[in-house]
Chains A and B, each alone.
Chain A
Amino acid sequence: MLDETKLKSVIAAILEIDENSVDQNTSMDNVESWDSIKHMDLILAIEEEFGVSVPDEEAADLTSYALIKLVVADLVKDKG
């Protein structure tokens, strides 16, 4: 099971936004601080905090909370 609270807090910490403001609609399009540099930071942090490795082909597509949640949930499940 994916710990959504933890995922939100990771995203909030990296993007330096309020944890409560992270929801299904949060995306690169509506968070000002979410640029390509922060995007790399986000991937790094998710990999470290969830002990997963985000495949290259997925990394660039993780542009919203909804997408991140889907992919990370899969990765965590695969890890067993």
Chain B
Amino acid sequence: MSTNDRASARALLADPAASFLQVQKSVAFLEKTEDGLKDVTLGLSSNVQVDRLALYLRRHALLAGVRLRVQIGLYDSVAQDVETFVQAGVDVLLVVPFFDNLMPAFEAQIAAGLDDAVIAAKGEELAERYRLALAAAQPIPTVLVGQFHRTWPSAQPRQPDRVSTVLQTFQEMLANVVAEATPAALFDMPGILTDVGLSAAIDRRFYAQAKAPYALPMLNEIGRRTAKATRAYGTYFYKVLALDCDNTLWGGVVGEDLVEGIKLSPFEYPGNVYWRAQQEFLGLERAGVILCLCTKNNPADVEEVLSRHPDMPIRSENLTIRKINWDDKSTNLRAIATELNVGLDSIVFLDDSSFELEGVQSQVPAVTVFQVPSALTEYPAVVGDIKALFLAGGVSAESSAKTQQYKQKAAAEALKAQFSSQEDYIASLELEVELLRNAEANVARISELTQKSNQFNLTTRRYTQAEILAAMASEDREVYSLTVKDKFGSAGLTGVGVVRYEDDVVEVEAFLMSCRVIGRGVEFSIWPYIARDAARRGCSRLRGRFVRSAKNNLVEDFFDRLGLAPEETSEGERTYVTPLATLEKQQSQWIKIHYAG
């Protein structure tokens, strides 16, 4: 089959108007012929018939370069499904509980006066069943549980009917069960239903005949949002939003229209569209996204808008890096990536100019680009897509504080210029490291860091929360985490080490740090403490391992620099070993370490 066929199949996949048959053919064809697809498996469990959902899950996975194998569970057997899926080692579990089918015609029975006691008993039984199933689902890295929604419209516009009241109780119950079962997350089915519309979402015919309630538009949207909710099955993790200024943050060109002339009034069109977009960007910043400017303007003009325009929601303190110059945007984006120590593939760039966007796409294709639509009223929808890329996969509290920390780093960079030597400078930072062993309270952040860190990562092993918990609980493994603080503030939990004791050797299974704290010696400072723990366990040697990835050149010689002797070298992998005694003395003496041991 030719590349042409593949291109047209890809186009059909992306076409919202493609028919069921076209989607089916394209998916089957591309799964067979596309190169370089990532293989992921998903287990699907429901109390209604959702087999057809598999096709739409696969469709949206393929659009992100993933060949998704969907394993469909038995009818209404979530506990048994989970057991099967865990054994099969699925990567994702999607549970779709269907409210109206919890009991036959449940909504109608509720309306008909079904006894409160029966409803309550059903709720309790369900809660217990889900609690057990989700507890057993711990080994599955990603677990999504669909929230209940109604299937039939209320006939009472004047007040909520009994179905709404019961539905709300069941939703709260399910939300509580899911909240207890970290790392499971609730999947927003009612939100999808609102978007698709109840009458388009439910196929009354197949629901009645075969308990298959979801119509194609609904299945498609579930497929699309499952991909979003899993960050396209783990294929991306965006961190930075780089923004153009003229006709992106405000209407008009500040160099020509002057500060007073740009359109940014919250009360008038078109200013209100830009003003709303800026509020949304601030919301992203609050959730941990790093905002930067990448714009061709006179710096003084933009700085004036930032400091002086009365309606400007975004101010300089919200922007971690401002590239305001006449250089190529691709050059500026590269510089942003370097300064923030992030990959180009974690940057999203928004501009109104096709010319600029094409330039960026050809020069730095790893950057994801969005265009402000020429039909300006469609701008909020584009902003919505951008938000989904950053937020749909979930936000941890630590991530939200991250932007603050990048700004601290930028302030520290400025201070650096004043010192004569690098050591003077680092000493002046008053660095402190808090080292913790098996800190269960930090499991979410530890797992997140192992998922996200690419450059300073010795083995690039990714751990789910469940895996971290298991390592912490294990007799022969320890999970170290470190929190770095300097006089500008705390950088939060920014380093993770996992070690395994085996006879007289302590083996470093993983060691990784967030790039925002490296270059200050922190990475070398903690080893005496790890060595002491290992000695207490009867070990006499430490073994380190460097596993090469596409991105971790930075740490290629880390163990050499730590003073370990090379042991074995093979394709893409090197091991090192050293007697524990050589690690006793703390390197990076300027760092104060707190460790309860």
Contact = CB atoms under 8 A, between A and B. Distances in A.
Interface string B299-323: 0000000000000000000000000
Interface in B197-213: 205-206, 209-210, 212
Given A37-B51, A40-B52, A41-B52, A48 B21 contact: yes
Contacts of B52: 37, 40-41
A36 B28 CA distance: 20
Interface in A4-49: 10, 13-14, 16, 36-37, 40-41, 44-45, 48-49
Contact of B20 (A37, A45, A60): A45
A45 B209 contact: no
B552 interface: no
A49 B21 contact: yes
A45 B28 contact: no
A78 interface: no
Interface in B14-45: 19-21, 24-25, 28
B295 interface: no
Interface residues of A, number: 15
A52 B21 CA distance: 15
Contact of B19 (A36, A40, A48): A48
B216 A44 contact: yes
A67 B24 CA distance: 24
A56 B205 contact: yes
> Chain B: interface secondary structure?
helix
B562 to A, nearest CB: 56
B72 to A, nearest CB: 10
Contacts of B330: none
Interface in B41-57: 49, 51-52
B210 A44 contact: no
Interface residues of B, number: 15
Contact of B21 (A40, A45, A56): A45
A62 to B, nearest CB: 13
> Chain A: interface secondary structure?
helix
B19 A49 contact: yes
Interface in B167-217: 205-206, 209-210, 212, 216
Contacts of A16: 28
B94 to A, nearest CB: 18
Contacts of B24: 13-14, 41, 45
A41 B20 contact: yes
Contacts of B209: 40, 56, 59-60
Contacts of B25: 13
Given A13-B25, A56-B205, A40 B20 contact: no
A45 B52 CA distance: 12
Contacts of A40: 52, 206, 209-210, 212
A11 to B, nearest CB: 10
B21 A14 contact: yes
27 contacts: A13-B21, A13-B25, A14-B21, A14-B24, A16-B28, A37-B51, A37-B210, A37-B212, A40-B52, A40-B206, A40-B209, A40-B212, A41-B20, A41-B52, A44-B20, A44-B216, A45-B20, A45-B21, A45-B24, A48-B19, A48-B20, A48-B21, A49-B19, A49-B21, A59-B205, A59-B209, A60-B209
Given A49-B21, A56-B205, 12 more contacts: A13-B25, A14-B21, A16-B28, A37-B51, A37-B52, A37-B212, A40-B206, A40-B212, A41-B24, A45-B20, A48-B19, A49-B19
